Amino acid sequence: MELKGATLLYTLAALMITLAGFSALLMAVRPAAGAKLSLLDRYLAKTVMTHLFVLTWGALLPPLLALYDIHEPWVWRGAAVLFALPMLFLQVTYPYRRRKVIGTGPPPPIRAVFVVLGAVVTLAMLGYVVGGLHHSGGVYLTALTIDFFTVAFAFVTALDMIMQQPIEAGK
């Protein structure tokens, strides 16, 4: 029997990989226009790609675990732990990592949506699913979807910031 919600998980994984590819293509826009990539450009591209691949991991993990005939509540619990721990690490440490590389923290909208909302949603999902409450699959999928849209928001915001940077001629 197919895992409940598997079709949505596969759809999310496809969307996540599509956005990752699209973000990589957009990083080619500045050099194509004759500008060199800044440290901020490279850092934001790497961050978006990393988050999207962790989200894709989260989308593919439940169907993968289900292939081992694990009882469905344990599929969701295992997936929640294996997805939430790396995702929370990325979400919570983002301001520190950005400051370390770029020299400044994230702008307030990024901190509010990408860091705070993303981390709260991921942590709440982890507690709910590990607690074995009803509709754990739905809560897992909802959190995964919200986390995806926080990354999409961060990508669009970062793209806007990158496009406002002055163009420095490439070598």
CATH number, domain with residue 37: 1.20.120
Return the bridge partners of 169, or none.
35
Tens digit of each residue's pLDDT (9 = 90 or more) over 4-35 = 999 999 999 999 999 998 888 877 777 777 77
Within a domain: residue 61? yes
Within a domain: residue 171? no
- What CA–CA distance (Å, rounded) separates 96 from 127? 25
pTM exceeding 0.85: yes
Within a domain: residue 96? yes
Q: How far is CA 34 from CA 21, 30, 169, 171, in A?
A: 22, 7, 6, 9
Number of compact structural domains in the chain: 1
Is the pLDDT at 126 greater than 90, yes or no? yes
Which range marks the domain in which residue 42 is found?
6-164
Within a domain: residue 41? yes
Q: How far apart are the first and last CA of the chain?
A: 57
Tens digit of each residue's pLDDT (9 = 90 or more) over 64-114 = 999 999 999 999 999 999 999 999 999 999 999 999 999 999 999 999 999
| pLDDT score of 88 | 98
